[in-house]
Amino acid sequence: MIVDDDLWSAVGDPTRRRMIDLLLEQGSGTATSLSEHLPVTRQAVAKHLAVLDRTGLVHATPAGRERHYRVDEARLARAVAQLADVGAAWDGRLQRIRRIAETIQRRRDAAGEPGEK
């Protein structure tokens, strides 16, 4: 499993996740239009959009003095698939940890040792 750290960093920020949601709802948006729905300045939104653009999650189209951003739905789908893969891998790890802990507890119980329950 290949993990794209830049992608995870980009979507790890709650403001950027909200921006993606807004762009998906509206179809597209500018830094100005997005800043009207977020608790950050237009300049902060522009910086967040630059991060999303670098990771390929959004693409910009110049329109006069503004840039209109759209979500790259194929890239977003790949990100979701990667998230599902990572989640499945962690589920497997947690199951193995649980089995080890249960085995240790059964051995303690059989030996009459005190342990946490």
Q: Is residue 26 part of a domain?
A: yes
User: pTM for this structure?
Assistant: 0.73
CATH number of the CATH domain containing 49: 1.10.10.10
Rg of the chain over Cα atoms, rounded to whole angstroms, equals 22
For residue 2, the model assigns a pLDDT of 66
Q: Is residue 23 part of a domain?
A: yes
Higher per-residue pLDDT: 12 or 27: 27
Which of 37, 3, 42 is closest to 20 using CA atoms?
37
Q: Is residue 99 part of a domain?
A: no
Domain housing 63: 5-72
What is the dihedral sign for C-alpha 99, 105, 109, 110? positive
What is the token pair recorded at 111? 């030996």
Q: Is residue 67 part of a domain?
A: yes
- 19-39 mean pLDDT: 96
Provide the pLDDT confidence category of residue 116 given band limits of 50, 70 and 90. Answer: low
Question: From CA 13, how far away is CA 3, in angstroms rounded?
Answer: 17
Q: Is residue 117 part of a domain?
A: no
Number of structural domains the chain divides into: 1
Q: Is residue 52 part of a domain?
A: yes
What is the token pair recorded at 17? 């996740």
Q: Is residue 92 part of a domain?
A: no
Q: Is residue 40 part of a domain?
A: yes
